[in-house]
Structure 1
């Protein structure tokens, strides 16, 4: 092996591909632009609608969600009507990283979300140094690596970005922290590469994800939360500045890898303005079922509002526990209802039926009654109108049976709702429910979009663009195939356009 790594996988979490291409065309992202010219490129096909929570487990395992059991960090606990916190170690399928390491290959991972890697003398892993979703404190293998990480990169200068409020000084600190984090991430990557040679090296940049959620309105004059006066402090386009910091660090890492490495760069999915009606979904379901809508005030909601006003430094360490405590009083209510909204990311909505034989106190009979109720509820939800525009509030609804086929189908939503993201949704209306306001405590101004982009560069590949979109689950077996490893029992297949003839497996 020549160079620090034979195969390198660099992911740009939630980097919006339309912005990447726009800024490349303007010469603002020179390193990504160079890779575009030198690579085989393709759009990617992610899991439908609920992709933001299922994407990383599917990427890490090469299987679709119904086989790996994860769509969000809070999922139903079916021994009761509460929620359970889903952690990476709860995944039901082993990772490709383990499969490759078990074949004797040296594997190094840095901040790859939800990635499981066995701890051996041939593996290295840094987790939760600067990930978007902070599930654990910094974790390193081998343990002695933690001190080196602290010396090279320090502590994460950002932390949990969802604790940031839409205030100019806080947004400025976030922007500067993300730029600094992208720079330190490259420092850390180069130090790990120097420990090589590695057979497989993987690194994730989380900065575009955090920036897309919190900084979107700073660059979008059409966004209702856009403030022109913020620009004096934040600059003309804070999001571009973060992308440029990522681009600079990407260039440093790719240069260190050299031309001898196979380099795969994945922009996992995209970002756009956060326009949805997720906060009103459960109230809509209550009205559709002839129930009183839960009050937006009262002791629990008042405590929650006070909680959201606390500084991020106070809320951060207790955020996940607070989610579960806030949910506790709702468990008894769920047992009495035919269908409820269950947590998903806000770009979509999830509906769960209280199904007899599946839930402890099921009220909906399986079979035809369940299907008829699904049909009726789907029609009612599709009739919701955005009061501000008169356009449909819901773009489409998919059945869980189709989305999550596999052994864990019963642990997912029964209906998944894709909101119409074309315009803000201040309120929804339909003949059956009347009008309901959408009031969300979520500070995000940007949210997920489904399109991803993948680039593969190697001296044995001729640059060209592929038609259509390749499945996300095909990337895992492709990385393995570049090392001569065949993965069995997964949903994906190696992408032949990313392989030279002699590595087809």
Structure 2
């Protein structure tokens, strides 16, 4: 008899806050599962963007093998940059679609649409943490039934959601997050997240009880959403001591405790012989990448190219001011208010991009896009790494760098980048720079960037400076919690050794392989993971 496997992603839960809460008895259900099951980190290579974590889990291979580096797409001929709500998954099918006799229920799988040839129910886009989401299901009526019976997710109210696809057959929505400086708005986020967890739990129980399945997969994404916005209130961040907060009010913990309660309710209704995986494909920490990638790096390249400032022009001769907390509008509006006359003339405004339905209008990196054909190098918006594209002749539509100049341009950018420091500490902002076209790590299937910048993880900053480009900032922070490479897994069930630890090098791919084997299926030859037990 085939045993059942339940995989529930507590999306982005992370050891740096999870383990202290467990130790203090604040998450009793998860603590009990940890003590009586297997527990440990889930890893991925440092060069792999967070955007690829889910696709690696679905496909069981790293992106250098699939050639799929995320759900963003850059067209070098037209300089069009698009972020899709979903992965294309062209190279390999998701693992749960490979076995015709495997009965499957999938609910809210991140960055995924219903997959062909799946034997079961797939419901996507009810309550995902993502810049964009696309409600869709197979059978098609199931998402409408969920919305009619349980309503939309409370975090995605009409005030925070806009449609960004004009075709009614392709309903894609984009969300607006509140300012991380607005404490009352953050309290509302907390309440909405907790209510969403309760609604999600009811949907999961409905599917568990009323559908036939061998493999059940769902996410609990509210902690992911909350971690991005609430991190600075009770955890390490430069804004921590500057924000007014209520005594003994830990908003992020409140969301985590709602997740803990939800897990307790769900496991009471699971078949006794099922193996349970609670996991995250990446963790969270104080973000050291988002301001760098979406503001500092594109502005650096603008100044390096044109010798003038477009955004957040600071005075390098004066001491840097303390972090301000007076940013209560949306991040894009606060950053756009820091434009210079050159920024006014050269950049495409967020309001102009919003009018076009561009879901990336919130990112300053996207505002420089009209300039890309004129620049030697430009920054592609990204969440985990700085992604620099060289505007190469014959490859790009209006390339400005000859092939013979390519290495020298890369050298010049690297030298200038390595001079960037945090104005408050004087420490370097860049940890390392990888040339993707040369690196053996990518096996010839590299991402769109020519230079991949890994930032100094010890520096969370709102500004940057060097003798070459002056000072950028200070500016507002967008979000205060950001992704890092290490996730977690708690496994519990009849085929999992009690009170055991996962291997220290356990990876996302190992999780995929282990689930397949526990389902009694043969692991495809192209997959790269190992069995964890």
TM-score, structure 1 normalization: 0.85
Mapped to 2, the partners of 1:262 and 1:297 lie a distance apart of 58
What secondary structure sits across from 1:294 in the alignment? coil
Pick one of 174, 179, 189 that aligns with 1:165.
179
Q: 1:321 to 1:210 in 2, by over 3 A?
A: closer
Paired residue for 1:446? 481
Paired residue for 1:456? 491
Matched, 1:333 2:371: yes
Deviation at 1:25, TM superposition (A): 0.6
Paired residue for 1:468? 504
Q: 1:325 to 1:380 in 2, by over 3 A?
A: closer
Between stretches 316-325 and 240-249, larger displacement belongs to 316-325
Matched, 1:250 2:248: no
Paired residue for 2:300? 284
Paired residue for 1:187? 202
1:199-243 CA distances to partner (integer Å, 9 max, x unpaired)?
Answer: 1100111111111111111213753265553326xx621000001
Paired residue for 1:378? 414
Paired residue for 1:154? 151
Between stretches 476-485 and 185-194, larger displacement belongs to 476-485
Q: 1:125 to 1:348 in 2, by over 3 A?
A: same
CA contact (8 A) 2:40 2:488 kept: yes
The 5 A counterparts of 1:279-428 are 279-289=295-305, 291-294=307-310, 296-297=339-340, 299=344, 304=349, 318=357, 320=359, 322=361, 327=366, 330-345=368-383, 347-366=384-403, 369-401=405-437, 402=439, 405=442, 408-409=445-446, 411-428=447-464
Paired residue for 1:76? 74
Deviation at 1:337, TM superposition (A): 1.8
Pick one of 253, 267, 270 that aligns with 2:280.
267
Paired residue for 1:481? 517
Deviation at 1:48, TM superposition (A): 2.2
Deviation at 1:252, TM superposition (A): 1.6
Between stretches 368-377 and 451-460, larger displacement belongs to 368-377
Deviation at 1:270, TM superposition (A): 1.7
CA contact (8 A) 2:5 2:274 kept: yes
Mapped to 2, the partners of 1:318 and 1:300 lie a distance apart of 21
Deviation at 1:384, TM superposition (A): 1.5
Deviation at 1:444, TM superposition (A): 1.2
Between stretches 46-55 and 24-33, larger displacement belongs to 46-55
What secondary structure sits across from 1:231 in the alignment? coil
Deviation at 1:251, TM superposition (A): 1.6
Matched, 1:128 2:166: no
Mapped to 2, the partners of 1:140 and 1:189 lie a distance apart of 15
CA contact (8 A) 1:219 1:226 kept: no
Paired residue for 1:92? 90
Pick one of 230, 239, 259 that aligns with 2:245.
230
Q: 1:459 to 1:407 in 2, by over 3 A?
A: same
Paired residue for 1:139? 136
RMSD between aligned alpha carbons?
3.2
The 5 A counterparts of 1:34-113 are 34-88=32-86, 90-100=88-98, 102-113=99-110
Paired residue for 1:312? none
Q: 1:134 to 1:352 in 2, by over 3 A?
A: closer
What secondary structure sits across from 1:256 in the alignment? coil
Higher percent of residues as helix: 1
Paired residue for 2:321? none
Deviation at 1:271, TM superposition (A): 1.6
Q: 1:378 to 1:259 in 2, by over 3 A?
A: farther
CA contact (8 A) 2:97 2:116 kept: no
CA contact (8 A) 1:225 1:445 kept: no
Q: 1:403 to 1:206 in 2, by over 3 A?
A: farther
What secondary structure sits across from 2:496 in the alignment? coil
Q: 1:403 to 1:236 in 2, by over 3 A?
A: farther
Mapped to 2, the partners of 1:325 and 1:377 lie a distance apart of 20
Mapped to 1, the partners of 2:177 and 2:50 lie a distance apart of 19
Gaps of 5+ in 2: 161-174, 312-338
Mapped to 2, the partners of 1:451 and 1:108 lie a distance apart of 27
1:332-369 CA distances to partner (integer Å, 9 max, x unpaired)?
Answer: 52122221111101x43111111233222333344x74
CA contact (8 A) 1:218 1:227 kept: no
Q: 1:95 to 1:114 in 2, by over 3 A?
A: farther
TM-score, structure 2 normalization: 0.81
